[in-house]
Chains A and B, each alone.
Chain A
Amino acid sequence: MARIDLDVNGRVHTVDTDPDMPLLYALRNDLGFNNPHFGCGLAQCGACTVHLDGQPVRSCVTPVSAVGNGKVVTLAGLGTPEKPHPIQKAYVEEQVPQCGYCINGWIMTAAAFLNQKKRPSEAEIKDALTGLKCRCGTHMGILRAVKRAAEMMG
C-alpha cells in the first residue's frame, strides 16, 4: 500500500492503495468519478479513457503509480453544459449515443485529437479514432459529431 497523490480535474486527491492498481479503480471507487467505465481491462475498447497531460490514456491498464504528477482529466472535467468542449456540444446536437457506455473513449480521444489538429480530413478523423469500440453501431453519428466539432473549432 502507498499514499499516492492524484491531480484529477484540477484538484489533488490522495488515495491509499496498492500502487499496481489501475487508475480506473482509483477514479471510480476511491474518488467517485464514475464516468470512466470498465469495458475490457485490456486497453482494447476505450470505455475507460481519460486524459493524462492532455493525451488520451486507457485508465484500465495505467497503474495508479504511473500517473505521477500528471494531470488527469475525466469526461466530467472536460466540459460542462455551461462551458462544453465542442465535441460534447456536437455529441448532444447530433444525438449520437445509443446506450452511451462507450462515450468516454470517443469523446476523450476525439477531444485530444481536435485540440491538436485543426480542420482534419475524414480519413484523419477515422485514423485518430481507430480501435475504439461502439457496440450499438453509432459510428455514423460519431463521425458526424467529430466533423461538427472540428468545424466549431475552426
Chain B
Amino acid sequence: MTRMEKPAHFSRRSMLQAGGALVVSIGMPIGLDTVLGIADAFAQGGKPPLTPDQLSSYIAVNADGTVSAFFGKMDMGQGLFVAIGQMVAEELDVPFKSVTVIMGDTATSVNQGGASGSTGIQLGGKQMRMAAAEARRVLVEMAAQKLGLPADQLMVTEGVVHAKADKQKRTSYAELIGGRYFNVQLDWNKQLGNTLYAPGKAKPKDYRDHKIVGQPIVREDIAPMVYARQDFCTDIKVPGMVHGRMIRPATAGAVPVKVDASSIADIPGARVIWDKGFVGIVADKEWDAIRASQKLKVEWSDAKPLFPDWTALYDHIRKAPIRKREVGGKEAGNVDEAFKTAARVVEAEYEWPFQSHACMGPACATVEIKDGNVTCWTGSQKPHFVRNGIALTLDIAPERVRSVWVVGPGSYGRSDADDAAMDAAVLAKVVGKPVRVQYTREQATGWDPKGPASIHRARAAIDAAGNVIAYEFTSKGFSRIDVNTNGGAPWDTLAGQLRDVALKSGDGFGVPAESYEFANKRLAWETIPPLLERGSPLRSAHLRDPVGPQVHFASESFMDELAAALALDPIEFRLRHVKDARDIAVIKAAAEKSGWQGRLSPRRDQTGSKVSGRGIAYSQRNGTRCAIVAEVDIDRTSGRIWARKFTVAHDCGQIINPDGLKHTIEGNIVQGVSRTLWEEVKFDGRNVTSVDWMTYPILDITETPQTIDIVLINHPEIAPSGAGEPSIRPVAAAIANAIFDATGVRIRRVPFSPDRVKQSLS
C-alpha cells in the first residue's frame, strides 16, 4: 500500500470480468432492496455518481477481495493514510494490508475538505469509519441471503463471512461484490468539505473490539521515497508540456506598463503572457524558461512604497483601525466592573511576526487542457477547491476540471501551491499547451501567503487577598483569512488578484483555547485591514495551526507572569484555575514525566554566562489537549538558545496509530522551535526582503533538541480528535517561560533570535 497508488486494479476490465449483469440503473438506489434481491440491490456493475451520499464514493471491494478506500482528504506526510487504512480495515474486518487508501483526486473522491485543521482523522476518519461500517453491514446482509442464515448468526474474519457456529458455511467479500460497486445510499448532511458527514445504518464497532486501530503500523510510503521511486508534484511530465515561470514586481503593487517581448526573442520557444498585473513566460525547455524569466525586460508602474518597515510593524498594528472585533465564547461575569475593584493589575503585551510557509520546495503545478477538459496536478492540500478555483478562473464548469493532488514539497496550510495551480491554468489556456509552473525560492518565501502578524494584550485584576478576580485577553492583528484557506476562488489567488478580480478579504482570528476559570473573563480578537489589498506578498492566510502559536505564546506566557506576580509555582498556579479534567491530566502528566519540582520562577541559583531554565505551557485545540515542559539552555553572552529538552503530554482521545502520532508530535515540536527561535518575515517599504534561507533562517540540525519525551494519553472511549497541529501551539510559550525561569527576563516578542535575546538580557 502506498499513498500514490492508482486504482489500476480496479479497472473497467476487471469489473467487467468479475461483475454480474447490470441490473440497477444509476441514480435510482433508494428503496430498491424492497423490489430486488438484496444482492442485486446492494451491488451493481456501473459506478453510481461520485456524490457524498453514495457508499461507493468511499469504499469499493475489488475483484480480488482487496479494498479501495477513496479519501477526500490527504496525508501531508504524517502517516494519515495509514491511520485511515486502519480505521477502514477495522470496521470491515479485513486485513490492514488489503486496504489501499486513494487520496485527493477529484475524479475518485468527494470533497472532504482536503488537509485542513488537523481533521484528517477527527472528521475525515470519522466518515471513512462510518462508510466502512456500513459496507460491512451490507455485505453481511448479502451473505445472509446467500447462505440462507440470519445476519446475526454470521461473523466476518479477514473478509470472509461465515456462520458463527460453522466456519464451512461461508462466502467472501470478493464473491459477494468483488469488482462491482456498492449501490447504497448514505444519510448525507448536505455539507461539503470538513463537515461532510454521511453515515449509513450501521453502528461502528465498540472500541473494546478494536484489533487494528491502536496498532503502531508503519508507513510503507517511505521506502519508495528513500529509494528514489516516488514522484512528487514537481516530477509530473505531460507530453507537449512547456515550462512556465512567473514574473513578480520588485515593488509590491506595481503593475507592468511595458513588457518587451523582444528581450527574450533569442531564447528558443520563449513567449510572454501578459494580462493586466499578471506576467508569465513559457519556454519548451526549463533552462530556457529560467533564462527568459531573468532576461525579460518589464517596465513597472511607479508604485509608492506601501509597507511600514518591518521594525515598525507592531506600531502599525497598534494604530491600525479595527475592521472586526469578536468576543470568543461568552464573557464571564463583568470584566470591566471587576477591574475597577482590583487591588492591583498585572498586564503585558506580546508580539508575533509574519511568518512564511517557506516550504522545502517552491510551489509547482502542471495543467493540461485537452478537448475542453482540464487536468491539474497540484501539491495543494485542497485539490477539490483547486478544481473550483480553476473552473472559475477559466470560466468553465467544475465537472470539466480534474484536480489531482500529488505529494508536494511540504504543506502546512494555505501555501503558495494554490497560487501556482491557478497560474498554470491561466498560462495553459493562453498557450494551448500543457504548462508546468515552477516558482523560484524568492517567490516561495517572498510571495507565499503569510501567517498573520499580531499583538496580544493581556491583563488580570488581583484583589487584596492575592486572588485573580478578572482576566482579559485581546489579540489584534492581520486576518488569518485575508485570502481564504484554499484557492477555490479567483479573488483568493494571485492569478485572480493580478487580473483585477474584485477582492473579498475575510476576517478571522482566534482566542486562547483553555479551561482557566476566573469569575470575570473575556477573550477577544480584532482584525485590521491588509497592508495592500491586491497581489500582496504580505497577504495573510492559514499557516500551521492558524494563529494558535501566536495566541498561546501570549496567553500562556501571561499565565506564567501571573504565577510569578502571585509568587506561585507555574504549574501550581495553573492547576488552581484549570477546570477541565483532561486538561489537568496532561499538565500533571507532563510535570511528572519531566520531574518537575515545585518552586518559584525565576530560579536564582545561577551565575555566569550559561544558564538553564524550565517552562510549562498548555492548550487545547478542537478537543485535543497538550501540555509541554521545555528545558532550555541560554548563553547570555551570545544570546543563543538551545531548546534542549521537551516533555510533551498529549491527549487526542482515541489513538489510532501511536507510532504515527509520535512522529507527528516530534515534527510539531521541532517546527515550533524553529518558528519561536528564528522565523520572522522582514520587509521594507517596497517588498518582503526575506526571500531565501539566509534571509529567512529556520532551525538548523545543530540546534536539534536533545530529547523529546512524549506521553501519549489514550482515551479509546472518546472519539479521536486531531494531532496535526495541537502540539505546535504551546511550544513558544514553554520556551519563553523557560527563558524567564533561567534569566528572570520576560521576552515578549518572537522570534527569540540571538540578537533579540542579547538585547533583552542586557
Interface on A for B, CB 8 Å cutoff?
A: 17-18, 21-22, 25, 28-29, 33-35, 37-42, 44-45, 47, 74-76, 79-81, 84, 88, 91-92, 95-103, 107, 126-127, 129-143
Contacts and interface: CB of A to CB of B under 8 A. Distances in A.
B359 A135 contact: yes
B747 interface: no
Contacts of B407: 99-100
Contact of A88 (B226, B358, B410): B226
Contacts of B222: 91-92, 95-97, 100
A81 B223 CA distance: 8
B24 interface: no
B341 interface: no
Nearest to A82: B227
A126 B704 contact: yes
Given A74-B228, A129-B701, A29 B286 contact: yes
B227 A84 contact: yes
Nearest to B693: A44
B408 A101 contact: yes
Contact of A47 (B360, B440, B673): B360
Given A42-B441, A101-B409, A103-B225, A135 B698 contact: yes
Contacts of B388: none
A130 to B, nearest CB: 5
B701 A140 contact: no
Interface of B: 76-79, 218-219, 222-223, 225-232, 234-235, 285-287, 358-362, 407-412, 438, 440-441, 659, 663, 666-674, 692-694, 698-702, 704-705, 708
A143 B443 CA distance: 31
Contacts of B231: 34
Given A38-B362, A44-B693, 19 more contacts: A22-B287, A34-B228, A34-B231, A37-B360, A47-B361, A76-B227, A80-B227, A95-B218, A97-B77, A99-B410, A100-B222, A100-B407, A101-B409, A133-B693, A133-B698, A134-B360, A135-B671, A140-B704, A141-B666
- What 5 pairs across the A-B complex have the smallest Cβ distances? A137-B670, A98-B77, A35-B228, A76-B228, A137-B671
Contacts, number: 167
Interface centre among B79, B218, B701, B708 (most CB of A within 10 A): B701
Given A29-B285, A45-B360, A140 B670 contact: yes
Nearest to A105: B360
Contacts of B225: 97, 100, 103
13 contacts: A25-B286, A34-B235, A44-B693, A45-B360, A76-B227, A95-B79, A98-B667, A130-B702, A136-B671, A137-B666, A137-B668, A138-B663, A140-B708
B290 to A, nearest CB: 8
Contacts of A96: 222
B413 to A, nearest CB: 12
A120 B222 CA distance: 25
Given A17-B287, A25-B287, A95-B222, A137 B361 contact: no
B525 to A, nearest CB: 27
A123 to B, nearest CB: 8
Given A17-B287, A100-B222, A134-B360, A41 B440 contact: yes
Interface centre among B76, B222, B671 (most CB of A within 10 A): B222
